[in-house]
Amino acid sequence: MPLSAQQTAEIAAARAAEARTLRPTVPALEAMLFHAMPVLDHGFLRVIDYMGDDAAVVQAARVSYGRGTRAANEDRGLIRYLIRHRHSTPFEMCEIKYHVKLPIFVARQWIRHRTANVNEYSARYSILDKEFYIPAPEHLAAQSTVNRQGRGDILTGDEAAEVLRLLRADAGQAYDHYAWMLNEDQADPARQGLARELARMNLTLNTYTQWYWKTDLHNLFHFLSLRADPHAQYEIRAYAEAMLETVKAWVPASYEAFCDYRLGAATLSAGMLAVVRRRLAGEKVGQPESGLSKREWRELMEILGLAE
Hey, which residues are catalytic here? Answer: 227
Instruction: Kindly give the pairing relationship between strand 43-51 and strand 37-39.
Output: antiparallel
How are strands ordered across the β-sheet holding 43-51?
37-39, 43-51, 95-103, 208-216, 117-120
Q: What is the DSSP letter of 126?
A: S
Residue type, 163: V
DSSP state string for 151-174:
EEEEP-HHHHHHHHHHHHHHHHHH
Of 250, 261, 222, the residue nearest 82 (C-alpha): 261
Q: Is 107 exposed, middle or buried (0-12, 13-18, 19+ CB in 10 A)?
A: buried
CB 3 within 8 A of CB 210: no
Spatial distance between the Cα atoms of 52 and 209, rounded to a whole number of angstroms: 29
CB 103 within 8 A of CB 211: no
- From residue 123, give the alpha-carbon distance in Å to each of 45, 134, 169, 172: 20, 21, 22, 17
